Amino acid sequence: MAQRYSQTDAGRFEALLARGQSPWLDYINRTHTESGSLRKMVEQDGLQGMTSNPAIFEKTMGYGNAYDAQIRSIVSRKPVTPEELYEELAVTDIRAAADVLRPVYDGTNHFDGHVSIEVSPYIANDAEATIKDSRRLWRAVDLPNVMIKIPGNAPGAKAIEEATFEGINVNVTLLFEQAAYQAVLEAYIRGLERRVEAGLDVKDIASVSSFYISRVDVLADSLIDRKIAAGEGDVAALKALRGKVAVANAKLAYEHWEQVTNSARWQRLAEEGAQPQRLLWASTGSKDPTYRDVRYVEELVAPETVNTMPLETYDAFRDHGEVTREMARDYGASREILRQLHAFGIDLKTVTDQLLREGLDGFEAAFVRLHNTLERKIAESRA
C-alpha cells in the first residue's frame, strides 16, 4: 500500500499516522458536529474516522434538548415508534459526521474516513435478522463512508460474510477472544472471495475488527486481585500480571492478522484491490487510575491498525501522548503472560465470554433506556 502520510513529528496524531495507525474517535454528538468541533479535529489533528454505539447515543439523545426540534418535526409529520425515531435521529447524526469525514475518505482512496452505526442489539443472536438490519441501515444512510457495526459472536460471523459479499462495509464489534476474531476475519475473506467468484468488484469495501482492550484488564485484574487477597499463589508473580493481559491478548490477534495478510490466499485478493480488514483497538480508555491514561494508545501503535479513542482519551493523548516506537512484536512473551494467567487458575476464555455477554447486555440496556426516554419525548411533543 502506498504511503499515505509523510509527517513524522508534526504532532502526536501525525506520529500515529506516520506509523500506519489511524486515530478514530469513539464518540458522536450532534452539537459536536454542528459547532465545527469535529471538523477542527479532522483538519487540525488528522482525525480519520468515528465509531458510535447504543450507549453513546443513549447519553447524547437521552439528555439535553439538542434533538428536540427534530423530534417535534418528525412527530408532527407521522406516527412514529421510539425505535423508528431513534433510527431517524441516529441516521441524521451519522450522515452529518460522514459528510465532515468525506474529504478523509476521498483523500485516502477510501481507506479511512468512515463513521459507524450499529445494528439493533435486540437481534445479536439472530444472523438473518442482523443481515436484514445491516441492509436496511446501509440503505438508510446511503453514503459510501459508513460502516455497519455487527457483533463478533457466532451469528454475527455469518452476517459479516453475507454483508461483505453484498458490498456493505462492516465494523465487527465486541471482540475479546482470539477464536472469535479469527472467525470474523475468515468471514470477511470468504465474503470477498465470493464477490471475486461472482465477478464483482472488491476495491472499495472496507472493514475493521473492533478488538476490545481495557475491559479485559479490568476483569482480569479483578480476578488477579482476588487471588492475591486469598493468598493463592505467588503474590509477586500475580502482581506482575496486572495490566498485562489485555495488551498481550491484542498482540496475539495482531500476530494472526499478520499471518493471514501475508498468506498467498490474501495476496490473491489484494491483487484484486481488496483492503485488509484492519484491527481496531476499542475500549482504549484506561479505567484504572493507577495506569497511565493513554497507555492503551501508546502501547498498541502498529501498522494498518485503528485506535478509536473515547473523547477523554483523545484529548489526553493530544495533550501528553507519546509515540516513540511501534508496538513490540513480542508474541512469545505475550503467550507466556497468558500461560501464567492460566497457571494461576484464571481462564481467559471465561473472562472473554463474560465480557461479550456483558457487552451485549450493556448495549441492549442502553437501548431500553434510550427508547424509554424517546417514548416520553414523543408523548411530550404530541401534548
Number of other residues whose CB lies within 10 A of the CB of residue 82: 18
Catalytic residue among 149, 244, 251, 377: 149
Which residue segment(s) compose the domain that 297 sits in? 12-376
Total structural domains within the chain: 1
Specify the pLDDT at position 169: 98
On whether the CB atoms of residues 59 and 367 are closer than 8 A, the answer is no
- CA dist., res. 253 & res. 346, Å (int): 20
DSSP-assigned states of every residue in 170-207: EEEEEE-SHHHHHHHHHHHHHHHHHHHHTT---TT--E
pLDDT category at 10 given cuts 50, 70, 90 is very low
Specify the pLDDT at position 116: 97
Q: Is residue 123 part of a domain?
A: yes
- CA dist., res. 358 & res. 354, Å (int): 6
- CA dist., res. 290 & res. 288, Å (int): 5
Question: Does 182 have pLDDT greater than 80?
Answer: yes
On whether the CB atoms of residues 211 and 279 are closer than 8 A, the answer is yes
Q: Is residue 293 part of a domain?
A: yes
Q: Which CATH number covers residue 153?
A: 3.20.20.70
Q: Is residue 243 part of a domain?
A: yes
Phi and psi based region of residue 239 (left: phi greater than 0; alpha: psi -120 to 50; beta: remaining): alpha
Q: Is residue 7 part of a domain?
A: no
- Give counts: helices (H), strands (E), the chain: 17, 8
Question: Does 212 have pLDDT greater than 70?
Answer: yes
- CA dist., res. 23 & res. 39, Å (int): 14
pLDDT category at 63 given cuts 50, 70, 90 is confident
On whether the CB atoms of residues 246 and 296 are closer than 8 A, the answer is yes
pTM above 0.85, yes or no: yes
Q: Is residue 3 part of a domain?
A: no
Specify the pLDDT at position 55: 87
| Overall average pLDDT of the 26-55 stretch | 95
Q: What is the pLDDT of residues 316-367, one digit of tens each?
A: 999 999 998 999 999 999 999 999 999 999 999 999 999 999 999 999 999 9
**Helix crossing, 82-107 with 127-141: angle to 10°?**
60
Question: Does 227 have pLDDT greater than 50?
Answer: yes
Number of other residues whose CB lies within 10 A of the CB of residue 104: 21
DSSP-assigned states of every residue in 6-58: --SSS-HHHHHHHTTEEEEEE---HHHHHTTHHHHIIIII---EEE--HHHHH
pLDDT category at 2 given cuts 50, 70, 90 is very low
DSSP-assigned states of every residue in 229-282: HHT-S-HHHHHHHTTTHHHHHHHHHHHHHHHHHTSHHHHHHHHTTPPP-EEEEE
Q: Is residue 383 part of a domain?
A: no
Q: Is residue 381 part of a domain?
A: no
| Overall average pLDDT of the 241-268 stretch | 98
Type of residue at 18: A
For the chain, the 3-state helix, strand and coil shares in percent, each to the nearest 5, are 60, 10, 30
H or E segment to which residue 102 belongs:
helix 82-107
* CA-based nearest residue to 84, from 314, 381, 375: 375
From first CA to last CA, the distance across the chain in angstroms is 57
Alpha carbons within 13 angstroms on the beta-carbon side of residue 277 total: 33
Specify the pLDDT at position 85: 94
pLDDT category at 9 given cuts 50, 70, 90 is very low
Strand partners, 207: 170
Q: What is the pLDDT of residues 283-321, one digit of tens each?
A: 999 999 999 999 999 999 999 999 999 999 999 999 999
Question: Does 7 have pLDDT greater than 90?
Answer: no
pLDDT category at 381 given cuts 50, 70, 90 is confident
Type of residue at 230: A
Q: Is residue 190 part of a domain?
A: yes
- For residue 326 the three cell numbers come to 511501534
Specify the pLDDT at position 64: 78
Average pLDDT value for the chain: 94
Active site annotation includes 203: no
- CA dist., res. 208 & res. 124, Å (int): 18
